Structure 1
């Protein structure tokens, strides 16, 4: 799993559409997600708040396959490093897609 150097703020690319990302985020954290605007999400869990700004970028093309890509900016507030990592790990596991 990806672990950034700092859990204050970081960016990463996610293979999904905005709709897919929102749907999987809400399944990963039921009742904890607030949609703040188009592509802007907030997850409140215990004393940790995570804001995510997701913007579509150029898709990946592999032969005839076209894979959507989002650039997602993560900004944490509240909680300590351990609590932030626990939330990120939970979301990553819950939002993980199957593969070969």
Structure 2
């Protein structure tokens, strides 16, 4: 377990690592973003968000194959308001269209 002073949670996302890397700059709204192998660090106010992801086997539904990522969010020194603002924007930038 990594030491942290803020919320840590995981999500399974239906996307590829390349798609997530494409969406992340928009989700950061100009916040400093540093790429790592299998993750990224985002500066949020006086703190940071450490994102780590791992490719999962695709989900198969009949003939459809959907990509999957396990994404871990580690917030360190980020206020609740900053975290909520970031996650609202992240969710908006990573949601797929539908209808």
TM-score range, shorter chain: 0.7 to 0.9
Q: Measure the CA separation in 2 of the matches of 1:65 and 1:48.
A: 40
Q: Measure the CA separation in 1 of the matches of 2:84 and 2:9.
A: 13
Q: Measure the CA separation in 1 of the matches of 2:22 and 2:86.
A: 17
SS in 1 for 2:67: strand
TM-score, normalised with respect to structure 2: 0.83
CA RMSD of aligned residues (A): 1.6
Q: Which is worse superposed, 80-89 or 26-35?
A: 26-35
Q: Measure the CA separation in 2 of the matches of 1:28 and 1:88.
A: 8
- Mind listing any 5+ residue stretches in structure 2 that lack a counterpart? 1-5
Superposition pairs of residues 42-57 of structure 1, within 5 angstroms: 42-57=41-56
Residue of structure 1 equivalent to 2:18:
19
- Mind listing any 5+ residue stretches in structure 1 that lack a counterpart? 1-6
Superposition pairs of residues 1-80 of structure 1, within 5 angstroms: 8-29=7-28, 30=30, 32-37=32-37, 39-80=38-79
